[in-house]
């Protein structure tokens, strides 16, 4: 039975209080393939009440009990792996191979990392006669985006479970089917009633209501900086904890001692991954001024090898972007880049040749971009790379840090000590040196307007814990 028109509240699939629906669009065809129910404040009230009731008992469960639940969730997730991959591909246009190997696999990796980290954690420590108790923060509102749906759901839900919290999840209404399947996973795993609840809906009608709810103790939000500001302001009235992972405009400094062709090539592909829809994508490539033209030639050749097309085709590397709104925003920013004088190296406005339907974007590279240009400062969230020149290394670091964002940064050098020196000076929550493998045990989160708090493994668990000092305990 499909639960697309229901919510998961208090261990049951229930009808919404008001019969409101939203079509879910396949971005590769621009056609609706299903509908979901859309919630209201009344649905949020029901879900929060269930979570509040469940907190009384779930917060007192043992570490062993919560570990056992996490392991059942992992098993149930693996049982639904292909269903989730098919849903990701359909709702956000991800090529199937990418859906399996990156999108859905990331969710599994986060659950596994949380289990490993939690097994190694101590929830009590003694200092003299004082014992420090790490206790669950309470009822949590989890608000997740459409671009990495399983990644963000699992790196919030798993640590919240480990901490002993109860929760209400609002997935993105643009890509909601993966969230509904995840609720089925939680049900199959035997999650106690009320511990995990799901309500679909939009930001104003559900997300903001959750953020401002008097019985919600914490909000964990991933999304745009604009929306994050609204969430933080709404949550402020009840002085609840707010953890946010927001936008980015990440610089990729290719130092003079880097393996240049390899560094540029990987930088282009890193920017384009997930159709450019990653908040930590290396969208600003900084190259030595004397090698700018060489970088453009390498980037052009790389971009033009990228196959854009049907997500179901085996040779497709990039699918469409997720929605008409995203498509229009990206097209407008590409046009702005041209108007402001950047050199269009390849790509540009419109769909790729041969594609007349679907939200497909041409992989685009701009050269001779300057710091004052819109495309160097705004998060585009599409397969669009800006290449900038620097004179000396000091200028490169200054340019990289000259942004309101600070989610990620990238440094390329064949001298690891040199790379480490530069990495220390980057004002970003994550610095990746020489395109390393993804690490689910590294802290993930941002400086400046890219947010606060950290996710992944033990870092994520700590965000869902309160600290109590029991003086005289010893």
Among all residues, which ones are annotated catalytic? 245, 279
Contact 139, 160 (CB under 8 A): no
* Other residues' Cβ atoms within 10 Å of the Cβ of residue 177: 25
**CA triple 114-463-169, angle to 5 deg:** 75
Whole-number Å distance between alpha carbons of 106 and 155 = 9
Conformational region of residue 409, where left means phi above 0, alpha means psi within -120 to 50, and beta covers everything else: beta
At which residue do the structure tokens 């390899």 appear?
Answer: 262
Q: What are the φ and ψ backbone dihedral angles of 210, each rounded to 5 degrees? A: -60, -45
Whole-number Å distance between alpha carbons of 466 and 133 = 8
Whole-number Å distance between alpha carbons of 226 and 170 = 18
Q: How far is CA 220 from CA 87, 189, 310, 451, 464, in A?
A: 24, 23, 34, 11, 9
- Rounded to a whole number of angstroms, the CA Rg of the chain reads 23
Q: Which two tokens stand for residue 375?
A: 């495309």
Class of residue 294 by CB neighbours under 10 A (exposed 0-12, middle 13-18, buried 19+): middle
Q: How far is CA 471 from CA 124, 127, 468, in A?
A: 13, 9, 9
Of 308, 300, 310, 324, nearest to 385 by C-alpha is 300
Whole-number Å distance between alpha carbons of 14 and 49 = 14
* Other residues' Cβ atoms within 10 Å of the Cβ of residue 121: 16
Whole-number Å distance between alpha carbons of 457 and 155 = 8
Of 198, 161, 138, nearest to 69 by C-alpha is 161
Give, for 346, the enclosing helix (H) or strand (E). Answer: strand 343-346
Of 187, 134, 154, 11, nearest to 88 by C-alpha is 154
């Amino acid at each position: 039975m499909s639960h697309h028109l229901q919510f998961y509240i208090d261990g049951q699939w229930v009808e919404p209080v008001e019969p409101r629906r939203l079509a879910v669009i396949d971005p590769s065809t621009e056609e609706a393939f299903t509908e979901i129910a859309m919630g209201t404040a009344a649905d949020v009230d029901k879900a929060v009440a269930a979570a509040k009731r469940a907190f009384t008992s779930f917060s007192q469960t043992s570490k062993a009990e919560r570990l056992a639940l996490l392991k059942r969730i992992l098993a149930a997730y693996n049982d639904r792996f292909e269903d989730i991959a098919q849903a990701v591909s359909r709702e956000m246009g991800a090529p199937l191979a990418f859906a399996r190997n990156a999108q859905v696999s990331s969710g599994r990796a986060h659950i596994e990392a949380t289990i490993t980290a939690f097994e190694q954690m101590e929830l009590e420590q003694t200092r003299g006669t004082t014992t420090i108790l790490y206790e669950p923060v309470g009822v949590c509102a989890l608000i997740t985006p459409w671009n990495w749906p399983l990644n963000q759901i699992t790196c919030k839900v798993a640590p919240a479970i480990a901490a002993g919290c109860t929760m209400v999840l609002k997935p993105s209404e643009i890509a909601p089917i993966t969230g509904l399947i995840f609720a089925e996973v939680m049900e199959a795993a035997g999650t106690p009633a009320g511990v995990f609840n799901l309500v679909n809906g939009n930001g104003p009608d559900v997300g903001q209501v959750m953020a401002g709810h008097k019985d919600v103790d914490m909000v964990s939000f991933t999304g745009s900086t604009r929306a994050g500001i609204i969430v933080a302001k709404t949550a402020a009235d009840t002085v609840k904890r707010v953890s946010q992972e927001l936008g980015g405009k990440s610089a990729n400094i290719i130092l003079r001692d880097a393996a240049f062709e390899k560094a540029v090539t990987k930088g282009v592909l890193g920017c384009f991954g997930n159709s450019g829809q990653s908040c930590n994508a290396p969208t600003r490539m900084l190259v030595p001024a004397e090698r700018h033209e060489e970088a453009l030639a390498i980037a052009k050749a790389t971009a033009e090898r990228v196959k854009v097309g049907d997500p179901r085709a085996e040779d497709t590397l990039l699918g469409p972007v997720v929605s008409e709104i995203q498509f229009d925003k990206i097209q407008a920013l590409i046009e702005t880049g041209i108007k402001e004088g950047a050199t269009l190296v390849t790509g540009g406005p419109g769909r790729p040749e041969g594609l007349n339907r679907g939200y497909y974007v041409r992989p685009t590279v701009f050269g001779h971009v300057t710091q004052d240009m819109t495309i160097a400062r705004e998060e585009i969230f599409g397969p669009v790379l800006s290449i900038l020149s620097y004179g000396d290394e000091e200028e490169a670091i200054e340019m990289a840090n000259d942004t309101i964002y600070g989610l990620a940064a990238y440094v390329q050098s064949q001298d690891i000590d040199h790379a480490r020196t530069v990495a220390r000076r980057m004002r970003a929550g994550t610095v990746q040196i020489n395109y390393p493998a993804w690490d689910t045990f590294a802290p993930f989160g941002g400086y400046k307007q890219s947010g606060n708090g950290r996710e992944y493994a033990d870092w994520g668990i700590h965000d869902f814990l309160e600290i109590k000092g029991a003086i005289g305990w010893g």
